[in-house]
Structure 1
Amino acid sequence: MLTFILRRLVAGVLTVLTISVLGFFLLYLGARDTARRIVGDTADPEIVARKAEELGLDRPIIVQFLDWFGSALTGDLGRSWFSGQPVTEALASRLPVTLSLTIGAILLTAVVGTILGVIAATRRGWLDSSIQITSFVGAAIPGFLVALVLVLVFAIGLQWVPATGYIKAETSITGWLSTIILPIIALSIGAIASIAQQVRGSMLDAVRLDYVRTLRSRGIPDRHVIYGHVLRNSAGPALSVLGIQFIVMFGGAVVVEQVFSLPGLGQTAVSATIQGDIPLVMGLIVLTAVIVLLVNLAIDLLQGWLNPKVRLS
């Protein structure tokens, strides 16, 4: 098991390094006009040159990369070119908002998607057809449209929760829940459809296998066969889809946070990209790559626990 973990960890670290290197060179090769954007289009060339020197943009790009990479290894991702705030501080203050949405959405997706998938696979008939149609519709509707409908119905119409804004959990748990419940649902709708379909398909394939017929022939209750054996053996593919959905949700939070005016990484990503704040964009790239690494590692560990054969791959 230790070899399995180390192998996955090394592969993930190499992936993060590759993404960081490619991201840095792609961003900084197009950063020549950043100094002029910061000081203004009407600034004298001398002022622009001084600003470029201050930012280190006048140095060879390989020197800039080695300087950034050395600092990044110590946890220093530089400072924002526009606000002067340390990048790690800016990301740390907004990461909890995005993580609360993404983790809440993935938990809701796992629970509801699995329940719907099991019901569809075991009950069949009109209930199976209804769940499949609902899942198809849920997967087809864009997340931002779901978010807008939720705001119109539950926030503006029924006034059950605030339409926009964010309340920290340490300030008020109920207030915090009221500000994240609709964004969580908006992020989850499409993912629930994917998980339900995956669980349904995997279970239908599993119940046709010989070991299931053997268990049933021995008089083992059908409930125990379904939940103790079939569902566990079907969890592997669903976990892989769930890991992908987590990454998709993390990216989709950009749009949802804009709709609900949440101070998460989505707003930071949009403003940093528009401004050309490259250190902040690089920080977002590295942070996203690390989160993807951790999620994939967690999924691999769960896969290895559910299916020992995975550890040999």
Structure 2
Amino acid sequence: MLTFVVRRLAGGAVLLFVISLLSYLLLSIPDNDVGRQLLGQSADQAAVDAKNAALGLDRPVLVQYADWLSHAVRGDLGASWFTSEDVTQAIANRLPVTVSLMVGVTLVTAAVSFLLGVWAGVRRGAVDRFVQVLGVAGYALPGFLVTLVLVLVFAVKLDWFPAIGYTPFAESPGGWLSTITLPVASLSIASVAGVSQQVRGAVIDVLRQDYVRTLRARGLSAPRIVFKHVLRNASAPALVLLGMQFVGLLGGAVLVEQIFGLPGIGGMTVTYTSRGDIPVVMALVMLTVVGVVLINLVTDVLIGWLNPKARRP
């Protein structure tokens, strides 16, 4: 298992380097006169050139990247060009909001999807058709429409949850739960639709295997067969999809954070990317890549635990 983990981490380190280089090159392609944006259109050209030089933008792009990388590996992500805010601190202030959403959605998706998928795969018939209809509906409904309906019903009409705003967990656990419930619900619907169908299909395939018939012939109870044997072998495809959806939640978080007024990194990414603030954008890109690597590692470890053959190169 240790070799398996080390191999995945080594691959992640290479991926991190390649994406950081490509991202820096792509961000440097647009002809953004950062000095002019900072000083204003009426600023003297000499002052603009001096500002760009102070930021190191007069150097070749590869030299700029090497300088950024040398600081990044030491944990120094620099400061925003536009706000002078420390990048690490800026992200740390907003990261808990987005992490709360992503972890909440993942937990809800895993619990509901496995429940519905196993229920449909075992019972079949009307239950199976009902779960499939739910899956199609979850995919078909636009995310923004689902979010607006949830706000109108549960925040405006029933007043069960706040429509906007965020309460940190340390300040009030109850307030924190109240402020993330609707955002988590809005993001979970499409995720549950996809993962539950994957679980359903995997459970049906495993139930058709010869060893399941053998277990039944030996007199094992249906719950024991399902939860000890079938679910273990049917979980791998669903875990892969769940990990992919966790990463994809960053895109959905941008819309949800804006609708609910949440100070997460989704809105931060849009704002600073439009400005061309390379130190902040690079930090956000690296954070995303590290998240992808860690999620894939956790997924691979879980699959390797469920199926030892998956750990073989």
- How high is the TM-score relative to the length of structure 2? 0.98
Structure 2: distance between partners of 1:32 and 1:194: 41
CA deviations 1:189-222 (Å, max 9, x no partner) are: 1000111000000011111111111111111111
Contact 2:32/2:276 (8 A) holds in 1: no
In the TM superposition, residue 223 of structure 1 has moved relative to its aligned partner by: 1.4
Partner secondary structure for residue 180 of structure 2? helix
Report the residue type matching 2:178 in the other structure.
S
CA deviations 1:131-165 (Å, max 9, x no partner) are: 10111111222322211111111111111111000
Give the aligned partner of residue 48 of structure 1.
48
Contact 2:79/2:85 (8 A) holds in 1: yes
Give the aligned partner of residue 198 of structure 2.
198
Give the aligned partner of residue 111 of structure 2.
111
Give the aligned partner of residue 279 of structure 1.
279
CA deviations 1:280-311 (Å, max 9, x no partner) are: 11111001001111111110110110000001
Partner secondary structure for residue 59 of structure 2? coil
Contact 2:257/2:267 (8 A) holds in 1: yes
Structure 1: distance between partners of 2:31 and 2:63: 15
Structure 1: distance between partners of 2:237 and 2:85: 42
Contact 2:166/2:176 (8 A) holds in 1: yes
Report the residue type matching 2:261 in the other structure.
S
Contact 1:257/1:263 (8 A) holds in 2: yes
Moved more, 23-32 or 231-240: 23-32
CA deviations 1:170-204 (Å, max 9, x no partner) are: 11111111100000011111000111000000011
Moved more, 33-42 or 284-293: 33-42
Report the residue type matching 1:215 in the other structure.
L
Give the aligned partner of residue 176 of structure 2.
176
In the TM superposition, residue 277 of structure 1 has moved relative to its aligned partner by: 1.3
Q: How many residues align?
A: 313
Contact 1:32/1:57 (8 A) holds in 2: no
Give the aligned partner of residue 211 of structure 1.
211
Structure 1: distance between partners of 2:273 and 2:5: 35
In the TM superposition, residue 274 of structure 1 has moved relative to its aligned partner by: 1.9
Aligned-residue identity in percent: 52
In the TM superposition, residue 29 of structure 1 has moved relative to its aligned partner by: 2.8
In the TM superposition, residue 7 of structure 1 has moved relative to its aligned partner by: 0.9
Structure 2: distance between partners of 1:275 and 1:26: 14
Matched, 1:38 2:38: yes
Report the residue type matching 1:12 in the other structure.
G
Where does the alignment leave 5 or more consecutive residues of structure 1 unmatched? none
CA deviations 1:48-90 (Å, max 9, x no partner) are: 1111111110011111111100000011111101110111111
Matched, 1:258 2:258: yes
In the TM superposition, residue 259 of structure 1 has moved relative to its aligned partner by: 0.6
Moved more, 301-310 or 24-33: 24-33
Moved more, 213-222 or 25-34: 25-34
Partner secondary structure for residue 170 of structure 1? coil
In the TM superposition, residue 31 of structure 1 has moved relative to its aligned partner by: 5.1
Give the alignment's Cα RMSD to 1 decimal: 1.0
Report the residue type matching 1:2 in the other structure.
L
Matched ranges for 1:4-43 at <5 A: 4-30=4-30, 32-43=32-43
Structure 2: distance between partners of 1:180 and 1:170: 14
- How high is the TM-score relative to the length of structure 1? 0.98
Matched ranges for 1:129-140 at <5 A: 129-140=129-140
Contact 2:87/2:279 (8 A) holds in 1: yes
Report the residue type matching 2:301 in the other structure.
L
Structure 1: distance between partners of 2:86 and 2:143: 32
Matched, 1:87 2:87: yes
Contact 1:79/1:87 (8 A) holds in 2: yes
Structure 2: distance between partners of 1:142 and 1:101: 19
Partner secondary structure for residue 219 of structure 1? coil
Moved more, 116-125 or 39-48: 39-48
Structure 2: distance between partners of 1:28 and 1:187: 33
Contact 2:250/2:266 (8 A) holds in 1: no
Structure 2: distance between partners of 1:284 and 1:108: 26
Give the aligned partner of residue 222 of structure 2.
222
Contact 2:105/2:184 (8 A) holds in 1: yes
